[in-house]
């Protein structure tokens, strides 16, 4: 990895429950009962309404591939070993979208809208579990 | 609601694009001063008339940028504005200046964006280099949503996020690789006729674009702007000063601004760009329609940006942009003159001054100073700005007397 190791997420007090859930290989995101919608990324108040009613709910993680690109050049030196790198956006069945990477896939088999499923990637030295996706 | 069209761009400056600085390095504050002087000289008006400034970030100061500029230039201003809308900043600065003038706050507003990031260096005060150098417009600081939820997966900077929009476009409306490439190729013709463009001496064809390496699918290298050194500015004045300038005034007749998010993937629909609100605002304010424009200068960091902007500004039907591009000649001598100075794809992108490229392009045409690329009888122009990833967009409708 050398000088440029992959940038890792650093949880905040507000986002910690999301990362705690990933460590258990489950997915928990916020929900606003007054707005009747799921929210991602984690926030302190509900976007749109600013309602102070966000609560954590577990979701399955089942998603559709909203869009993707195959990076044939590293997007930064930190990702030099990742090419061809499938940088994607998943849309959870509950609505919110999630920036991720697609793994275990041939780029040629990818289609916008295809079903994808979670791949939990533990990074013990960082105390973090990343959430990648693969074709379902 | 809106402008009366009583403020005008009366002078502009746009540095020739270069791969490296051509002279001694200058701080962004020093660049600001030189660009301001060049803009005023172009307008034929003295510095003493300036009573407003619009700026973006300076490298040398974190906060208090406008007052630092006023102090450095020795100007006392009634309007000191800092605009932080990325590539949408330039058009945003112009409308803010016009609004301040129409409110009677001031009579002459300098809008300047330095575009040479290589500045003098001292080992005694080394620059605060951090990894943001590699992450473009994505912040890797603690607490930044991008740092926590995007960058770790490679969603960073611009190339990948814009390419994902192109993928989604393709899946939704279909794709014509040659038509996408034609956007870059037509603009290159314009660049080949415009001194100062980084690719002034390098013609390309549609085949060249398609045969250039795919950097982030489906975008090829020649569909992506090249960063250059440069810098640009305009002077916006009231009607009295505009009459004193030797240049034909370029009246700011309408504008729009819409900010939906920072990253388009968080928009309800990534293919519905903020232009859908920003363009009709400008046209209705001006009492004009897309068909009334004699030329357009469309922000083009990527071919996909230009394509979506053409559609969402109403120059063609949604989803029919590629057909529109294929059926029209976008060069300065064509039936739909667009980005007649090369656009950023042909001229090069000097940081956020790239947004000012489009303001200068339209001003040059309306003033009748576009030389070899002059569009005959050019009186009305549409300008777009774009920041973030199709997240914040601004528009101008400009008109000559």
Same domain, A113 and A52: no
Same domain, A93 and A113: yes
Same domain, A18 and A52: yes
Q: What is the pLDDT of residue B127?
A: 76
Same domain, A44 and A91: no
Q: What is the pLDDT of residue B132?
A: 65
Which CATH number belongs to the domain containing residue A121 in this structure?
2.40.50.840
Same domain, A50 and A99: no
Predicted confidence (pLDDT) per residue in A22-34, tens digit? 999 999 999 999 9
**Rounded mean pLDDT, B33-43:** 98
Same domain, A78 and A112: yes
Q: How far apart are alpha carbons B225 and B231 in whole angstroms? A: 16
Same domain, A81 and A29: no
Q: How far apart are alpha carbons B265 and B114 in whole angstroms? A: 30
Same domain, A30 and A49: yes
Domain for residue A69, yes or no?
A: yes
pTM greater than 0.90: yes
If residue B148 lies in a helix (H) or strand (E), which one and from where to where?
Answer: helix B145-149
Predicted confidence (pLDDT) per residue in B206-255, tens digit? 999 999 999 999 999 999 999 999 999 999 999 999 999 999 999 999 99
Query: First CA to last CA across chain A, in angstroms?
Result: 30
Beta-bridge mates of residue A133: A102, A118
Q: Provide the domain limits for residue A20.
A: 12-59
Q: How far apart are alpha carbons A28 and B252 in whole angstroms? A: 50
Subunit contact B164:A107, Cβ cutoff 8 A: no
Same domain, A133 and A94: yes
Would an 8 Å CB–CB cutoff place B391 in contact with chain A?
Answer: no
Same domain, A46 and A103: no
Predicted confidence (pLDDT) per residue in B104-149, tens digit? 999 999 999 999 999 998 999 887 766 667 888 899 999 999 999 9
In sequence order, what DSSP letters do the residues of B357-399 get, joined into one string?
HHHHHHHHHHHT--GGGPPTT--EEEEEEEETBTTEEEEEEEE
Q: Which residue has the tokens 């605009």?
A: B83
Q: What is the pLDDT of residue B141?
A: 92
The contacts of residue B335 (CB under 8 Å, 6+ apart) are B328, B329
Domain for residue A3, yes or no?
A: no
Predicted confidence (pLDDT) per residue in B255-309, tens digit? 999 999 988 888 889 999 999 999 999 999 999 999 999 999 999 999 999 999 9
SS3 assignment, position B29? helix
Domain for residue A83, yes or no?
A: yes
Instruction: Confirm if A119 and A101 have CB atoms less than 8 A apart.
Output: no
Asked if the model's pLDDT at residue A1 lies above 50, the reply is no
Beta-bridge mates of residue B383: B297, B396
Question: For residue A23, which phi and psi values (nearest 5 degrees)?
Answer: -60, -30
Q: How far apart are alpha carbons A90 and A77 in whole angstroms? A: 24
Domain boundaries, chain B: 7-121+224-399
Q: How far apart are alpha carbons B51 and B106 in whole angstroms? A: 6
Which of A77, A78, A99 is nearest residue B265 as measured by Cβ atoms? A99
If residue B239 lies in a helix (H) or strand (E), which one and from where to where?
Answer: helix B239-244
Q: How far is A34 from chain B (nearest CA, A)?
A: 19
Same domain, A84 and A132: yes
Subunit contact A99:B149, Cβ cutoff 8 A: yes
**CATH fold of B7-121+224-399, please?**
Peroxisomal Thiolase; Chain A, domain 1 (3.40.47)
Domain for residue A16, yes or no?
A: yes
Q: What angle do CA B121, B123, B126 make, to 5 degrees?
A: 70
- Could you give the number of structural domains in chain A? 2
Same domain, A55 and A89: no
The greatest distance separating any two alpha carbons of chain B, rounded to the nearest whole angstrom, comes to 58
Cα R_g (chain B), whole angstroms: 20
User: Which residues in chain A have their CB less than 8 angstroms from residue B160's CB?
Assistant: 69, 71, 75, 87
Cβ of A45: how many Cβ atoms within 10 Å? 13
């Amino acid at each position: 990895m050398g000088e440029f190791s992959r940038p890792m997420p650093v949880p905040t007090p507000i986002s910690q429950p999301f990362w705690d859930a990933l460590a258990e290989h489950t997915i928990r995101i916020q929900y606003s009962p007054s707005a009747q919608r799921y929210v991602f990324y984690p926030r302190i108040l509900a976007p749109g309404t600013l309602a102070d009613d966000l609560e954590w709910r577990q979701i399955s993680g089942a998603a559709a591939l909203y869009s993707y690109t195959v990076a044939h050049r590293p997007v930064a030196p930190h990702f030099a070993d990742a090419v061809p790198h499938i940088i994607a956006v998943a849309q959870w069945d509950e609505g919110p979208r999630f920036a991720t990477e697609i793994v275990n896939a041939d780029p040629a088999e990818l289609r916008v809208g295809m079903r994808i499923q979670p791949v939990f990637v533990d990074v013990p030295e960082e105390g973090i579990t990343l959430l990648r996706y693969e074709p379902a | 609601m809106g402008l009366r069209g009583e403020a005008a761009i009366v002078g502009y400056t746009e540095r020739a694009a270069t791969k490296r600085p051509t002279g001694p390095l200058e701080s962004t504050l020093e660049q600001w001063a030189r660009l301001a002087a060049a803009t005023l000289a172009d307008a034929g008006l003295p510095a003493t008339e300036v009573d407003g400034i619009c700026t973006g970030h300076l490298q040398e100061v974190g906060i208090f940028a406008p007052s630092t500029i006023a102090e450095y230039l020795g100007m006392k201003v009634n309007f000191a504005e800092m605009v932080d809308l990325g590539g949408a900043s330039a058009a945003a600065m112009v409308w803010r200046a016009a609004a301040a003038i129409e409110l009677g706050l001031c009579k002459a507003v300098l809008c300047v964006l330095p575009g040479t990031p290589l500045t003098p260096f001292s080992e005694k005060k080394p620059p605060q280099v951090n990894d943001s150098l590699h992450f473009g417009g994505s912040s890797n600081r603690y607490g930044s949503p991008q740092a926590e939820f995007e960058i770790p997966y490679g969603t960073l900077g611009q190339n990948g996020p814009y390419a994902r929009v192109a993928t989604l476009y393709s899946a939704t409306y279909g794709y014509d690789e040659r038509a996408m490439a034609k956007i870059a190729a037509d603009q290159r013709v314009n660049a080949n006729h415009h001194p100062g463009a980084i690719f002034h001496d390098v013609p390309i064809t549609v085949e060249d674009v398609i045969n250039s390496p795919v950097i982030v699918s489906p975008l090829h290298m020649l569909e992506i702007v090249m960063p250059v050194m440069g810098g640009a500015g305009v002077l916006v004045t009231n009607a009295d000063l505009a009459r004193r300038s030797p240049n034909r005034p370029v009246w700011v007749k309408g504008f729009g601004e819409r900010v939906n998010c920072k990253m388009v993937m968080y928009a309800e629909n990534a293919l519905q760009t903020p232009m859908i609100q920003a363009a009709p605002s400008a046209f209705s304010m001006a009492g004009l329609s897309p068909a009334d424009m004699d030329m357009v200068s469309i922000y083009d960091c990527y071919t996909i940006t230009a394509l979506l902007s053409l559609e969402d500004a109403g120059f063609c039907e949604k989803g029919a942009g590629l057909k529109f591009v294929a059926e029209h000649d976008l060069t300065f001598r064509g039936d739909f003159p667009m980005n007649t100075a090369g656009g950023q794809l042909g001229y090069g992108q000097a940081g956020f001054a790239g947004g000012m490229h489009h303001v200068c392009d339209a001003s040059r045409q309306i003033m009748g100073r576009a030389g070899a690329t002059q569009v005959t009888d050019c009186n009305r122009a549409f300008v777009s700005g774009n920041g973030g990833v199709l997240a914040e967009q601004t528009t101008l409708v400009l008109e000559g007397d």
